[in-house]
């Protein structure tokens, strides 16, 4: 997604796709599904029936801020079949085009709170995954394969905003409220094998473990992620009720962490995350017990799928 100086830019939205969403949202139709993670820690929804994902173009010139008509035609048809299967997932959302990742269609809504605005960002992942679907027709150097699957990979994030930027009455961009400084901490390797080291993953573990009750195992789910140089709340309940339910929780988390961010980063510059870190243990003792109640019925259970590969089911 295009980001400029901490902004998420809205280059193009499609009225026809938005009409599909609006027509389905209030239909009252709900199709049951289950929530899972695969062994690579990727979240997906498992549908009862398979859907067909069509050929899509692999390449797009990122300087072109609008999609081609052929891409839109294919995407519209696919979404007209997908959205009725998951009305609660798409309810209240608006589509927008990301010129940097055309195989990951984006949708958003603005969640208003007493303290400001939070962006809800839903992103589909339409890349073919070898173990998650069956190829109908092979792809080419320019197009993805056509395949069928009942696994829909997606991610839904609540992102704190500094402000919403308008142009001629339309949303032009979202300015993210960035509370985390540079997370680069060094390099490893030599010559062509030099790699940067960032603390983003350790910050994600620190934030998530901090608010999960002691002894509760929810791996591979991390509810609070270091992303966009801020604290993002990753959701598994993607319904309007789920989004709304976690708004106040996220704001409490942001308020709690705001004065502690610099100290947390300092503690991770020289040490990998551990629950034994003094900074972690000190903050953990300050978490109000009522904040942990939201996780009481939340469980993540491992199992083997029909290919004897490890997966996890989320229940709550």
Residue 188's pLDDT band, with cuts at 50, 70 and 90, is very low
Confidence at 1, pLDDT banded by 50, 70, 90: low
Which residue did the predictor score with more confidence, 79 or 197? 79
Average of per-residue pLDDT across 96-113: 94
Please give the share of the chain, as a percent, with pLDDT higher than 90.
78
Residue 136, in any domain of the structure: yes
Chain segment 215-261, per-residue pLDDT in tens: 999 999 999 999 999 999 999 999 999 999 999 999 999 999 999 99
Q: Hey, how many other C-beta atoms are within 10 angstroms of the C-beta on 87?
A: 18
Average confidence (pLDDT) over 286-312: 94
Confidence of residue 187 (pLDDT cuts 50, 70, 90): very low
Count of CB atoms within 10 A of residue 103's CB?
16
pTM of the model: 0.92
The pLDDT, as a whole number, for residue 61 is: 87
1 lies in a domain?
no
**What pLDDT, in 10s, does the model give residues 7-65?**
999 999 999 999 999 998 555 455 679 999 999 999 999 999 899 999 999 988 888 99
Residue 250: predicted pLDDT: 95
Residue 13, in any domain of the structure: yes
Specify if 149 maps to a domain.
yes
Q: Is residue 180 part of a domain?
A: yes
> Is there a domain that residue 2 lies in?
no
Domain assignment of residue 258, given as a range: 7-315
Q: Please state, rounded to an integer, the average pLDDT across all residues of the chain.
A: 90
Most confident of 24-28, 137-141, 268-272: 137-141
What confidence category does residue 281 fall into, taking pLDDT thresholds of 50, 70 and 90?
Answer: very high
Count the domains in the chain: 1
pLDDT of residue 3: 55
Buried b (16+ CB within 10 A) or exposed e, 186-200: eeeeeeeeeeeeebe
The pLDDT value recorded for residue 32 is: 79
Largest Cα–Cα distance of the chain, in whole Å? 59
Instruction: Name which residue leads in pLDDT, 278 or 183.
Output: 278
Q: When comparing pLDDT for 73 and 1, which is higher?
A: 73
């Amino acid at each position: 997604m295009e980001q400029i100086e901490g902004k998420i830019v809205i280059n193009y939205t499609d009225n026809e796709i938005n009409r599909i969403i609006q027509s389905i949202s209030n239909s009252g139709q709900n199709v049951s599904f289950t929530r899972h993670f695969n062994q690579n820690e990727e979240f997906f929804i498992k549908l009862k029936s398979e859907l067909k994902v069509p050929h899509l173009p692999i390449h797009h010139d990122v300087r072109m801020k609008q999609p081609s008509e052929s891409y839109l035609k294919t995407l519209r048809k696919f979404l007209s079949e997908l959205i009725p299967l998951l009305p609660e997932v798409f309810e209240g959302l608006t589509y927008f085009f990301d010129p940097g990742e055309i195989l990951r269609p984006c949708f958003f809504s603005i969640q208003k709170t007493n303290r400001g605005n939070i962006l809800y960002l839903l992103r589909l992942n339409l890349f073919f995954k070898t173990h998650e679907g069956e190829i109908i027709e092979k792809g080419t150097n320019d197009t993805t394969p056509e395949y069928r699957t009942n696994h829909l990979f997606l991610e839904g994030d609540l992102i704190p905003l500094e402000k919403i930027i308008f142009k001629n009455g339309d949303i032009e961009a979202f300015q993210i409220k960035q509370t985390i400084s540079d997370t680069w901490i060094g390099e490893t390797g030599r010559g062509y094998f030099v790699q940067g080291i960032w603390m983003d993953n350790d910050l994600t573990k620190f934030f998530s473990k901090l608010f999960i009750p002691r002894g509760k195992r929810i791996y591979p789910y991390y509810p609070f992620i270091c992303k966009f140089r801020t604290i993002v709340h990753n959701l598994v309940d993607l319904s309007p009720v789920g989004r709304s339910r976690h708004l106040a929780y996220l704001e409490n988390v942001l308020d709690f962490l705001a004065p502690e961010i610099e100290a947390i980063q300092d503690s991770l510059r020289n040490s990998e995350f551990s629950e034994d870190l003094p900074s972690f243990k000190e903050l953990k003792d300050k978490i109000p017990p009522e904040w942990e109640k939201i996780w009481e019925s939340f469980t993540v259970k491992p199992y083997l799928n029909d290919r004897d590969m490890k997966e996890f089911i989320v229940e709550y």
